[in-house]
Chains A and B, each alone.
Chain A
Amino acid sequence: MRVAVMSTCIGDAMFPEAVKATVRLLRRLGVTVEVPQAQTCCGQPMVNTGYLDEAVPLVRTFVSAFEGFDHVVVPSGSCAGSVRHQHGLVAARSGDAALADAVRQTSPRVLELSEFLVDVLGVVDVGAWFPHRVTYHPTCHSLRMLRVGDRPTRLLSAVGGIDLVPLPRAEECCGFGGTFAVKNADTSVAMGADKAAHVRSTGAEVLVTSDSSCLMHVGGLLSRGHAGIRTMHLAEVLAHTPDEGADGLDAADGTTSVAR
């Protein structure tokens, strides 16, 4: 089984700890991971803003980087969703039949991390240890584009020492929405502020999601509000084991209000 990790552009540039954790976790579960160096971005920022032609080269780069793998694991519901649901459209628009064919081969093999763990590896307990009060935001694209269902929370529930508390109105969008966050900044912030308030109401120390962009948005609001709540990617929690010494929070990728 040849498995590649797609780091995603935002994971690569802004949240490398989340991607490193994905690699560590998969290796611990016995998977030999490859990270094709030719990969860049799924093209979602362009597609979702309406720049479909501009996304064509990115789709091309994607298929040539990931052709031939049995599975491509993505620590992002949004990017996995974009590949599975939008690459076909972009390729069709390009009028390039070979590209469309390559997309048909590659995109169904692209899986969000929790899908790969539960469906392909068949594990729910990944042997993690994370003794903290945690709440989970399921992310719209994981829920409604990929239909990952409760896979992430099943994985989290099996983590040793964890105190997983439900998030009120969990399935509601956090308001990030890609360029929506800047094009409609006021509405985006209003939605995110409500999400942040729900997170606070749980008394959790850590907010976990499987999408770096949601983390960046809600984390940015929590940080601005001095909430003292950290944000972490699902992979970071699942990758953490007792023999790593620290309690896991040092690895936290999110922002806090400490450093100003």
Chain B
Amino acid sequence: MPPFPTAARAALGDAQLRRNLAHATGTIRAKRAAVIDELEDWEGLRQRAARTKDETLAHLDEHLLTLEASLTARGATVHWARDAADACRVVADVARAHGIRDVVKVKSMATQEIQLNETLAEQGISAWETDLAELIVQLGDDLPSHILVPAIHRNRTEIRDIFRDRMGAVGRAAPDGLTDDPAVLAGAARLHLREKFLSTRMAVSGANFAVADTGTLVVVESEGNGRMCLTLPEVLVSVVGIEKVVPTWSDLESFLTLLPRSSTGERMNPYTSTWSGVAPGDGPQEVHVVLLDNGRTKALADDFARQALRCIRCSACLNVCPVYERVGGHTYGSVYPGPIGAILNPLLKGVGQDPATDALPYASTLCGACGDVCPVAIDIPGILVHLRGKVVDAHRGDGLPKAEAVAMKAAAWGLGSAARLGLGERLLGAAAGLWRGSRAGTTRPVITRLPWPGSHWTRARDLPVPPRESFRAWWRRTGRDGGAS
């Protein structure tokens, strides 16, 4: 994946993508705002949820052991996975032990993060996404571009074409004469998926929450496909990030209020499924839970940025982010796009190693909209700045310093004393006189072209010609005596 600025340039050229994104995020934003206004004390709820997460993270080891014990007591098998390879191996081993070649999946960020589908495919096991949007993405040989609305970048005509051209190759084909009417499209997906649910013996899920004291996993969704996956197959494997744990059942209350309102602008999730281990004679008779680290303990070790692990993946920050709205999710090169992706990816992977990850903390104007909507009050702008500092620090020892580092040091030196700043301004004013000589008019003249790196600015924007006299010089000349300009 190319670094953000390069990927963004390509995405910005896609006018259809930008229209689709602007429309979809605009709609969700409005719905979210309306349902949040209904609640009396949103801020209080938000702070309580943030506190719960923080306290849990502070004793994460204890809560995880409790979770393991209660899951085991209820008949589930718990596996610990240090990284993606560990986790994928567990899932593949379970499938192989039962001679299973097809698994159904309910949408799960964690399994996308570890690239489970691709790894299983290498071993001859097919994983079928059952979430409508995920199905569109999978059939279209595409990548998700939004946490909650993975096909947000597609419109319905594109979806009709994907269904018509691709469904038949992997299962039940789309009916003849498929139109782009949403109800017709949903009908085609339903028939296609039903066949999968009824013929597949193993399911893979994630979990939105894992309740430690009762050993309960929770999945919220809106289509019912998740409930099918969680109840119909014989074997169920859930891949769960270790930060998903909450201590008690009653802690769910605030999260189940915050999540749907923040994500889809609904008061409740249409389906909230909970399960605890194995229930004899009912549902999957073999249940595995893979507790996934994959960089989370690295994030946990950062005292300030740790709060990013509070994230409940609601995607509210994506929907308000003006950068995300213009460039879409693929630009971030990860399953976690948008503002949360810009902080989570560098935290999980570590900075200073690859340019694409190092570019992410800079993929923001720091406008602050993300931090304001986050239902668990993650200080996203603060973490972005913090991570920028880490990126710079990671490169301080580089043999050949970047042009930027040189410029920043020079600027800091120039701005470090009033005398040096004043001198710089006099030089700028003198240089500006050259421009001014060639321009006339009552309003302020502009510079329309600068050499690199100034060309980054002037390619599309004019720059005012610096004034001949700085404020500082004016103040010296007249201001301190209270004179007029």
Query: Which single residue of chain B is at the shortest CB-CB distance from A189?
Result: B460
For the complex, is B389 an interface residue (Cβ under 8 Å from A)? yes
Q: Are A49 and B421 in contact (CB under 8 A)?
A: no
The answer for the CA separation of A39 and B472 in the assembled complex, in Å, is 10
Residues A37 and B440 in contact in the complex (CB < 8 Å), given A50-B389, A55-B412: no
Q: Give per-residue flags for A128-155: 1 if the beta carbon is below 8 A from chain B beta carbons, else 0.
A: 0000000000001101110000000000
Number of interface residues of B (CB under 8 A): 73
Q: Does any Cβ of A come within 8 Å of B415's Cβ?
A: yes
How would residues 35 to 69 of chain A score, 1 for a CB under 8 Å from any chain B CB and 0 otherwise? 10111110101111111101101100100010000
- Residue of A27, A49, A50, A143 ringed by the most chain B CB atoms within 10 A: A50
- Contact A19:B471 (CB < 8 A) given known A39-B418, A141-B368, A184-B8: yes
A23 touches B479 (CB 8 A): yes
Our pick among B8, B367, B444, B464 for the contact of A177 (Cβ within 8 Å) is: B367
How far does the alpha carbon of A255 sit from the alpha carbon of B463 in the complex, in Å? Answer: 8
In the complex, which of the residues B362, B408, B416, B470 contacts A51, with contact meaning CB atoms closer than 8 Å?
A: B408
B466 within 8 A of A: yes
Tell whether, in the assembled complex, residue A255 and residue B466 are in contact, meaning their CB atoms are under 8 Å apart. Answer: no
Q: Is the CB of A185 within 8 A of B327?
A: no
> In the complex, A191 Cα to B324 Cα: how many Å?
11
B456:A180 contact, CB within 8 angstroms: no
Is A230's beta carbon under 8 Å from chain B?
yes
Question: Do the beta carbons of A20 and B479 come within 8 Å of each other?
Answer: yes
Q: Which residues of A contact B475 (CB under 8 A)?
A: 7, 23, 35, 37
Is B466 a contact of A13 with CB atoms below 8 Å?
yes
| B375-431 CB contacts (< 8 Å) to partner A | 385, 387-393, 404-405, 408-409, 411-412, 415-418, 421, 424-425, 428
Q: Is A187 an interface residue (CB 8 A)?
A: yes
Give CA–CA (A140, B457) in the complex, Å: 21
Q: Is the CB of B461 within 8 A of A217?
A: yes
Q: Check: B5 CB closer than 8 A to any chain A CB.
A: yes
B404, B416, B457: the one contacting A185 at CB < 8 Å is B457
Contacts of B363 in A (CB 8 A): 184, 187
Whether, in the assembled complex, B446 has its beta carbon less than 8 Å from a beta carbon of chain A, the answer is yes
A191 to B326, CA, bound (A): 7
Interface of B is mostly: helix
Interface of A: prevailing SS: helix
* Distance to closest chain A CB from B113 (angstroms): 25
In the bound complex, CA of A171 to CA of B443 (Å): 29
Minimal beta-carbon separation of B73 from chain A (angstroms): 46
Shortest CB distance A259–B (Å): 4
Q: Are A48 and B425 in contact (CB under 8 A)?
A: no
- Bound Cα distance A179, B472 (Å): 24
**Across-interface contacts of A185 in B (CB, < 8 A):** 5, 456-457, 459-460
In the bound complex, residues from chain B placing their C-beta under 8 Å from that of A127 are none
Residues on B with beta carbons closer than 8 Å to the beta carbon of A254: 443-444, 464
Indicate if A205 sits at the interface (CB-CB under 8 A). no
In the complex, residue of chain B having the shortest beta-carbon distance to the beta carbon of A24: B485
Cross-chain contact B385 with A189 (CB below 8 angstroms): no
Task: Tell me whether A49 and B415 are in contact in the complex, defined as CB-CB below 8 angstroms, given that A27-B482, A224-B448, A256-B444 are known contacts.
Answer: no
Interface 0/1 of B448-485, CB less than 8 Å to A: 10000100110111111011011110111001101001
Q: Are B479 and A35 in contact (CB under 8 A)?
A: yes
Complex Cα distance, B362 from A182, in Å, reads 11
Chain A residue at smallest Cβ distance from B459: A185
Closest to A32 in B: B482
Could you say which of B411, B425, B444, B466 has the most chain A C-beta atoms within 10 Å of its C-beta?
B444
Q: In the complex, how many angstroms separate the beta carbon of A198 from the nearest chain B beta carbon?
A: 12
Please give, as numbers and ranges, the residues of chain A lying within 8 Å of B295 by CB-CB distance: none
Is A252 on the interface with B (CB-CB < 8 A)?
A: yes
Most-contacted residue by chain A among B453, B460, B467 (CB, 10 A): B460
Q: Is A9 interfacial (CB 8 A cutoff)?
A: yes
Tell me whether B464 and A187 are in contact (CB under 8 A). no
Residues of B near A145 (CB, < 8 A) are: 368
Q: Do B367 and A190 have beta carbons less than 8 Å apart?
A: no
Q: Could you say which residues of chain A place their CB within 8 Å of the CB of B467?
A: 14, 16-17
Q: Mark B99-135, 1 if CB is under 8 A from A, else 0.
A: 0000000000000000000000000000000000000
Whether A255 contacts B464 by the Cβ 8 Å rule is: yes
Interface membership of B255, Cβ < 8 A: no
At the interface, yes or no: B323 with Cβ under 8 Å from chain A?
Answer: yes
In contact, B441 and A259 (Cβ under 8 angstroms): yes
CA distance A13 to B467 in the complex (A): 7
Chain A CB within 8 A of B369 CB: yes
B179 interfacial contact with A, CB 8 Å: no
Is B224 at the interface (CB under 8 A from chain A)?
no
Task: Let me know if A258 and B441 touch, CB within 8 A.
Answer: yes
The reply to whether B385 and A50 form a contact with Cβ atoms under 8 Å apart is yes
Task: Write the chain A residue with the least CB distance to B462.
Answer: A223
Partner of B322 from the list A19, A172, A217, A252 (CB cut-off 8 Å) is A172
Sample 14 A-B pairs with CB under 8 A, ordered by A number.
Answer: A13-B424, A15-B464, A50-B385, A140-B368, A173-B322, A178-B365, A180-B362, A180-B364, A187-B8, A189-B460, A219-B464, A254-B443, A257-B462, A259-B443
Apart from the given pairs A182-B457, A220-B464, 16 other A-B contacts in the complex at a CB distance below 8 Å = A12-B425, A12-B470, A13-B425, A13-B470, A17-B467, A20-B474, A24-B485, A37-B418, A40-B418, A50-B388, A144-B371, A144-B372, A176-B365, A179-B404, A180-B364, A180-B365
Closest 8 CB pairs of A and B: A177-B365, A50-B388, A220-B461, A144-B368, A173-B367, A50-B392, A16-B471, A259-B441
Q: Footprint of B on A, CB under 8 Å?
A: 7, 9, 11-17, 19-20, 23-24, 27, 35, 37-41, 43, 45-52, 54-55, 57-58, 61, 65, 86, 140-141, 143-145, 171-173, 175-193, 216-217, 219-221, 223-224, 230, 250, 252-260
